[in-house]
Amino acid sequence: MPLKAIRSKTDLAINGAPPAFDQPLHVGRPNIGNREAFLRSVDHILDNQWLTNNGPMVQEFEHRIAAYLGVKHCVAMCNGTIALEIAIRALRLTGEVIVPSWTFVATAHALYWQGITPVFADIDPFTHNLDPDAVRRMITPRTTGIIGVHLWGRAAPIDELQAIADEHGLTLMFDAAHAFGSSYCGQSVGRFGACEVFSFHATKAFNTMEGGAVTTDDDELAETMRLMRNFGFKGYDNVIHPGTNGKMIEACAAMGLANLDAFDDIIAVNTRNHHAYREALVGIPGLSLLGYDAAERNSHHYVVIEVEKDCAATRDDIIAALHAENILARKYFWPGNHRMQPYRDLFPHTGLMLEQTQAVAEKVIVLPNGTSVPNEAITTISDIVRLAC
**Residue 180 DSSP one-character state:** T
The distance of closest approach from Cβ of residue 71 to ligand T4K in the complex, given in angstroms and rounded to an integer, is 19
Count of residues interacting with ligand T4K (CB under 6 A) = 23
Distance from C-alpha of 179 to C-alpha of 176, rounded to nearest angstrom: 5
Interactions with ligand T4K, residue window 8-27 (CB under 6 A): 26-27
Neighbours of 262 (CB within 10 A): 19
What phi and psi, each to the nearest 5 degrees, are found at residue 301? Answer: -70, -35
Distance from C-alpha of 111 to C-alpha of 107, rounded to nearest angstrom: 7
Q: Which residue number, 193 or 212, has a Cβ lying nearer to ligand T4K?
A: 212
Question: Which residue from 39, 76, 46 is spatially nearest to 60, judged by alpha carbons?
Answer: 76
Q: Is 81 in the site for ligand T4K (CB under 6 A)?
A: yes
Q: Which residue number, 201 or 229, has a Cβ lying nearer to ligand T4K?
A: 201
Contact 287/63 with Cβ under 8 angstroms?
no
Q: Tell which one of 41, 143, 199, 298 touches ligand T4K (CB under 6 A).
A: 199
The distance of closest approach from Cβ of residue 21 to ligand T4K in the complex, given in angstroms and rounded to an integer, is 13
Q: Which residue number, 88 or 311, has a Cβ lying nearer to ligand T4K?
A: 88
The distance of closest approach from Cβ of residue 335 to ligand T4K in the complex, given in angstroms and rounded to an integer, is 14
Distance from C-alpha of 128 to C-alpha of 156, rounded to nearest angstrom: 9
Question: Which residue from 296, 48, 22 is spatially nearest to 152, judged by alpha carbons?
Answer: 296
Q: Is 80 in the site for ligand T4K (CB under 6 A)?
A: yes
Contact 148/161 with Cβ under 8 angstroms?
yes
- For residues 158 to 197, the per-residue mask of contacts with ligand T4K, x marking binding by CB under 6 A and - elsewhere, is -----------------x-xx-------------------
The distance of closest approach from Cβ of residue 363 to ligand T4K in the complex, given in angstroms and rounded to an integer, is 18
Q: Which residue number, 6 or 365, has a Cβ lying nearer to ligand T4K?
A: 365
Interactions with ligand T4K, residue window 104-133 (CB under 6 A): 104, 106-107
Q: Tell which one of 128, 154, 191, 201 touches ligand T4K (CB under 6 A).
A: 201
Q: Which residue number, 284 or 370, has a Cβ lying nearer to ligand T4K?
A: 370
Distances (CA, A) of 179 to 21, 62, 270, 354: 30, 17, 14, 24
The distance of closest approach from Cβ of residue 372 to ligand T4K in the complex, given in angstroms and rounded to an integer, is 8
Interactions with ligand T4K, residue window 27-66 (CB under 6 A): 27-30
Q: Which residue number, 253 or 389, has a Cβ lying nearer to ligand T4K?
A: 253
Can you give 260-286 as a three-state secondary structure string? HHHHHHHHHHHHHHHHHHHHHHCCCCC
The distance of closest approach from Cβ of residue 158 to ligand T4K in the complex, given in angstroms and rounded to an integer, is 16
The distance of closest approach from Cβ of residue 171 to ligand T4K in the complex, given in angstroms and rounded to an integer, is 18
Q: Which residues contact 246 (CB under 8 A, 6 or more apart)?
A: 77, 78, 82, 83, 85, 86, 228, 229, 230
Distance from C-alpha of 215 to C-alpha of 386, rounded to nearest angstrom: 42
Q: Tell which one of 149, 249, 262, 321 touches ligand T4K (CB under 6 A).
A: 149
Distance from C-alpha of 315 to C-alpha of 307, rounded to nearest angstrom: 6
Q: Is 319 in the site for ligand T4K (CB under 6 A)?
A: no
Distance from C-alpha of 181 to C-alpha of 200, rounded to nearest angstrom: 12
The distance of closest approach from Cβ of residue 328 to ligand T4K in the complex, given in angstroms and rounded to an integer, is 6
Mark out the alpha helices in the chain (DSSP H runs).
Answer: 35-48, 56-69, 80-90, 106-112, 132-137, 158-168, 219-228, 250-281, 315-324, 343-346, 355-361, 375-388
Beta bridge partners of 175: 149, 197
Which of these ranges, 58-66, 103-111, 112-120, 313-321, lies near ligand T4K under the rule CB under 6 A?
Answer: 103-111
Q: Tell which one of 34, 127, 162, 203 touches ligand T4K (CB under 6 A).
A: 203
Interactions with ligand T4K, residue window 226-245 (CB under 6 A): none
Q: Which residue number, 6 or 248, has a Cβ lying nearer to ligand T4K?
A: 248
Q: Which residue number, 31 or 284, has a Cβ lying nearer to ligand T4K?
A: 31
Question: Which residue from 107, 88, 99, 117 is spatially nearest to 244, judged by alpha carbons?
Answer: 88
Q: Residue numbers of the site for ligand T4K (CB under 6 A)?
A: 26-30, 79-81, 103-104, 106-107, 149, 175, 177-178, 199, 201-203, 212, 328, 332
